[in-house]
Amino acid sequence: MAGRVAGKVALITGAARGQGRAHAVRLASEGADIIALDLAGPLPDVPYDSPTPDDLDETARLVKERGGRVIASIADVRDIETLQAATDAAVAELGRLDIVIANAGICVPNPWDRISPQEFRNVIDTNVVGVWNTVMVAAPHLVAGGRGGSIVLTSSYAGAKMQPFMVHYTASKHAVTGMARAFAAELGKHDIRVNSIHPGAVETPMGSGNMQAAMAAAAETNPLLNDMGTPFLPRWSATAEEIADAALFLASDESRYITAVPLLIDGGAAHF
């Protein structure tokens, strides 16, 4: 039986590991070829481990293992020229583009009065400008293809409610939510759908390094906020594969009349 995205090509940013890798592997298992883009280098300000070229190579290996073609390139979403070149070259080689998952982003926990101007700019540049850059270099290929398509922007629980001790992250993810709606309105005439996904806690390398200690230290500044975002379901976090399942649904024709929708994948946390 043909896969749910058979014959299609998907571009995914932040594809070296975590949710990005899960998206790449899931779509490849359903028949898509993959353009995997990642900085694969030091991330600004983050307390967790940064992705590496080896991580990106492993994503490519896993895609090939599932029968998909893959072009993996190192590209920083903040650098639109490099992103444009990598995207154009990959689309030329694979012959089309149908799906875009703008997944790359960073998360830096800090109380409001300890966020430096540079840290704020780094989060906005990656999470907002980087998403805008991704759509701007990729959407023209969907338009030119004349087949419609699906764009999925990775927002967050923080883009539906808010995340304590992350003013810059919360602001960035609200911007992504609005961006999805705005792009959906203007790209709709081309039969291109744009939706946002809103994961809560997810088991990824974003929890590595000093991330847990940084979050705990920030939480000590205002313990009253610590229970915000508690899921209703009997697990605190999702797997990256569960987020990929939702992204696959939005990428596939099963959601062909769904656009401008913020899809929460947080176990109910935004409603606590």
* Beta-carbon-side half-sphere exposure of residue 154 (alpha carbons within 13 Å): 30
* Beta-carbon-side half-sphere exposure of residue 131 (alpha carbons within 13 Å): 27
- The question of whether 169 is a catalytic residue gets the answer yes
Strand partners, 35: 11, 71
How far apart, in whole angstroms, are the C-alpha atoms of residue 48 and residue 210?
A: 6
Q: Of residues 48, 157, 169, 257, which has the active-site annotation?
A: 169
How far apart, in whole angstroms, are the C-alpha atoms of residue 151 and residue 149?
A: 7
The 3-state secondary structure of 125-150 reads HHHHHHHHHHHHHHHHHHHHHCCCEE
Q: Give the SS3 label for residue 270.
A: helix
So which residues are the catalytic ones?
A: 169
